[in-house]
Structures are given as C-alpha cells and as structure tokens.
Amino acid sequence: MKFKARVWKFPDNINTDLILPSASFYLTQEEQVRFVFQANRPGWVDQVAKGDILIGGKNFGMGSSRPAARSLRNLGLGCLVAESINGLFFRNCVNFAFPAMACPGVDKAFAEGDVAEADFANGVVKNVTQGTTLQAATLPQKLLDLLDAGGVYPLLEREGIIAPLRK
C-alpha cells in the first residue's frame, strides 16, 4: 500500500470535533465531508485533491469516537502520517479503511505543499520535494488486510460473518 501526493499539514492535538463537527452528525456521509476542518480551515475541502496526504503532529485524532476517519476517507485523502495518532482514532482509521501510520519526525520533515511518498507495508515515508526519508513502524499484515478489504464491515460481509449492509 503506497501513496504519493501533495501534503497538507496539521498541528498537534487535532481533535475529532475539528475533523467532524457535531453540526454534521445527522447529515449523509457525502454532506458531512463539506464540514471537515470547517472551523479551523474554512474552504480547505475545496482545495484538497484526491489522494492528497495529511501530515499531522502529535496526538492526531484526540477526542471522541465519532467517525471522523470515515469523513477524511470520503473527502478523498489518500492517507494520514502523523507524529503520533490517538489510539481510538487509529482504530477508526482501520475500521473505515483510511490508511494511517505514526512516524516520528514527520512533522518537522515536511512543509505544506511538499510531495510525500508513504509506503505502509515497509513503513517508509519520503519527502520527495526535500529528498529526505523517515522510518516508521510497519503495520501488521492483519491491519493491512483490513485496509485492503475496505474496512471492518466489508471484511465481515465478505467472510459471511454479517449480512451485507443495505445501501
């Protein structure tokens, strides 16, 4: 699982309330995307291109268990690489098939607009613009399989453990 795209940077302690504000809870998933980071970066959703990479600081995704990772995926972002990722948010990333990995030093290694290359199988993060490479921990194969399956629900459906969700 590899990604190569433009970088968008966010600081330490990004809360899930910023990613997916409560004002969007009762909207459809498609409508919720319009609210992503609306409070701290109005209009940002109109600038993001499919596959772009989010670079975060420490404790990215702190806060509630709302499905903010799903909204980042639905926005079209390719993946998240952060200094550290809140545990509950990381699990939601896996459950909703939004690739995320922690990589020490990533915040200082990138400027917004740089081009990043993230290799999840090998835990390698490159700043193509600046010519630097960082090593992150690799994700376990079972988590990579969950991401490849499209998340926990599609995997459980495919395995016959749950009935397919109605669309």
Which DSSP state fits 164? P
Residues near 64 by beta carbon (within 8 Å), at least 6 away in sequence: 16, 17
Is 3.20.19.10 the CATH number for 2-158?
yes
Range 45-63 average pLDDT:
96
The whole-angstrom separation of Cα 145 and Cα 120 is: 12
Range 113-133 average pLDDT:
96
φ/ψ of residue 26, rounded to 5 = -95, 15
Residue 166 pLDDT greater than 80, yes or no: no
Outline where 27-140 has alpha helix (H): 29-32, 68-75, 87-95, 106-109
| Domains in the chain: boundaries | 2-158
Residue 157 pLDDT greater than 90, yes or no: no
Instruction: With cut-offs at 50, 70 and 90, classify the pLDDT of residue 109.
Output: very high
Q: What is the largest CA-CA distance in the chain?
A: 48
The whole-angstrom separation of Cα 56 and Cα 107 is: 6
Instruction: With cut-offs at 50, 70 and 90, classify the pLDDT of residue 9.
Output: very high
- Return the pLDDT at 10: 96
The whole-angstrom separation of Cα 5 and Cα 47 is: 14
- Return the pLDDT at 63: 86
What pairs with residue 80 in β-bridges? 54, 100
Higher-pLDDT residue of 92, 167: 92
- Pair 47, 84: CB distance under 8 Å: no
- Return the pLDDT at 89: 94
